[in-house]
Structure 1
Amino acid sequence: MPIKTIKGLIKRRLLVNYQVDPDVIQNVIPPPFKPKIIKGNSIIGVCLIRLEDIRPSLLASLSVGISSENAAHRIAVEWVEEGIKKEGVYIFRRDTNSKLNTLVGGRLFPGVHKFADFEVSDCNGMVEFSMVSRDKEAEVHISGNECEALPEISVFSSIDEISAFFKGGEDGYSPNPKQNCVQGLCLQTDNWNMKPFMVDNLKTTYMQNKLNIPKEELQFDSVVIMRDVDHTWKKIPSIKL
């Protein structure tokens, strides 16, 4: 039986962001999606998220659930649905260290997941994160710490501006196993917090190696971090391609 709603805790969420020319990125996202533009730039990157106490909403009273480390390569998008302009994120690829996620994702619940190895240290605001997918198609390494301000090169003028930009993208779509539609998933949060994150080291490979975006077209923008966010993942209608 398909699972329609899942509840849990976002223990940690890092959003790694790059600026890309909208004309470059349009070639790698399917219609009806178009890049969401801010100050002439589209924003692409990867969401690195630790989920805890994940369980179907029907079992929300249980005191324990499943925990996992996950990564989602995504881009902020807009599209028109029944004459109404909408916004969200298009997710190229999802990775996880949970074998259960790889089994049910795209089948019992939206979102195909690939299996990956994660190494994470998170202590006193310092985070060291490493992910290498088993198929070797995606790799992410980042280290740094929470800070007080976004980098000067960011297109976002304040933490409030970047927070509002991403809060509007609660609907996420990713390809189904047959690649003939995109499955929808809505992130509903009970509380929302976001802080700047200062990067010491950063390496990502998927956008260059698999999406074929030239290195010179990927301009680092910023990283932000969220912690301890109660949330619900809710299935929403798919969109045919």
Structure 2
Amino acid sequence: MRQPRLSSVIERRLLVNYRVAPDAAARLLPGPLRPQLVHGYAVAGICLLRLGHVRPAWAPKAFGLRSENAAHRIAVEWDGQDGVESGVYIPRRDTASRLNVWAGGRLFPGEHGRAHFEVHETPGQLRVALATWDGDTRVDVTVEPSDELRGSELFADLAEASHFFRGGTKGFSATTSGPHLEGMELRAGTWHVEAGRVRSAASSFFDDPAAFPSGSATLDCALIMRDVAASWRPLPAMASEREARPAD
């Protein structure tokens, strides 16, 4: 069945980014993907995404749905037909929406787990916490908007960070249906991000010493995107050279 292109509004997209030892990131990737390096580090993180007006591109905006979502992601590159391409590998997707859990991998690419979200937003602070229903993953992040990007060892300034993430709009994830990766591409009508200052961040994924030995994953920076019209285009499946653990 042909999967439809989706339209939506990114009401809030919070990217919490970690600089990661390349060997630690590589262990989590299926071939043919490899870590995309910045100043010798792999780049990984959590995308905490609230989408509004999600619907097939042909449907009126009034029929769209709203949901809280999370994706753990690793910046990757691979050899495409026209040279090296870049994007993200998503080892885990979670959502508060029962419909997204059912439709992911069926009506659109990307299988989802179910999670409970707590969100508190004020003009000066944003807190997003989640706990997955399977008990495997917990996240609790508090970020304040900032006038500039401070303290990052990955990016010199906000413009450099924005340019990097704008180039990573193709996302691939494992699937339970076979040895291939499902893909989805984000196409934003405009691209504008704000810097964030992380006040606290806890992640059972990045704090797991089995996946990330001590010192191999360090919190680096946060970026915020708000109120951006966006569409999501299914990509052709990518053959996987070795099996990766799909989202639960």
**Map of 1:214 onto structure 2:** 213
Runs of 4 or more above 4 Å deviation: none
How far apart in 2 are the matches of 1:159 and 1:214? 29
How far apart in 1 are the matches of 2:40 and 2:72? 21
Q: Between Structure 1 and Structure 2, which shows a larger proportion of helix residues? A: 1
Segment of structure 1 superposing worse, 155-164 or 170-179: 170-179
Does residue 146 in structure 1 map to residue 145 in structure 2?
A: yes
Match of 1:156, SS?
Answer: coil
Contact 1:143–1:200, Cα closer than 8 Å, also in 2: yes
Deviation at 1:112, TM superposition (A): 0.3
Deviations 1:57-115 (A, max 9, x none): 121x3324110000000011000022521000000100000000000101121000000
**Map of 2:246 onto structure 1:** none
How far apart in 2 are the matches of 1:185 and 1:144? 27
How far apart in 1 are the matches of 2:6 and 2:56? 4
Gaps of 5+ in 2: 241-248
**Map of 1:13 onto structure 2:** 13
User: 1:187 is matched by which residue type in structure 2?
Assistant: L
**Map of 1:158 onto structure 2:** 157
Match of 2:55, SS?
Answer: strand
Contact 2:24–2:211, Cα closer than 8 Å, also in 1: no
**Map of 2:46 onto structure 1:** 46
How far apart in 1 are the matches of 2:2 and 2:46? 27
Aligned positions of 1:98-113 closer than 5 A: 98-113=97-112
Contact 1:11–1:228, Cα closer than 8 Å, also in 2: yes
**Map of 1:87 onto structure 2:** 86
Deviation at 1:138, TM superposition (A): 1.0
Deviations 1:36-69 (A, max 9, x none): 111111101110000000000121x332411000
How far apart in 1 are the matches of 2:230 and 2:210? 30
Percent identity among equivalent residues? 35
User: 1:6 is matched by which residue type in structure 2?
Assistant: L
How far apart in 1 are the matches of 2:146 and 2:77? 30
Q: Quickly say closer, same or farther: Cα 1:232–1:216, change in 2 above 3 A.
A: same
TM-score, normalising length: structure 1: 0.95
How far apart in 1 are the matches of 2:54 and 2:82? 35
Deviation at 1:4, TM superposition (A): 2.1
Deviations 1:186-205 (A, max 9, x none): 00000111111111111001
**Map of 2:3 onto structure 1:** 3
Match of 2:168, SS?
Answer: coil
Gaps of 5+ in 1: none
How far apart in 1 are the matches of 2:54 and 2:101? 15
Q: Quickly say closer, same or farther: Cα 1:30–1:68, change in 2 above 3 A.
A: same
Deviation at 1:210, TM superposition (A): 8.9
Deviation at 1:24, TM superposition (A): 2.3
Contact 2:151–2:221, Cα closer than 8 Å, also in 1: no
Contact 1:174–1:184, Cα closer than 8 Å, also in 2: yes
**Map of 1:73 onto structure 2:** 72
Deviation at 1:221, TM superposition (A): 0.7
Does residue 135 in structure 1 map to residue 134 in structure 2?
A: yes
How far apart in 1 are the matches of 2:42 and 2:112? 25
How far apart in 2 are the matches of 1:129 and 1:12? 11
**Map of 1:233 onto structure 2:** 232
How far apart in 2 are the matches of 1:3 and 1:176? 15
Match of 1:103, SS?
Answer: helix
TM-score, normalising length: structure 2: 0.93
How far apart in 1 are the matches of 2:154 and 2:146? 18
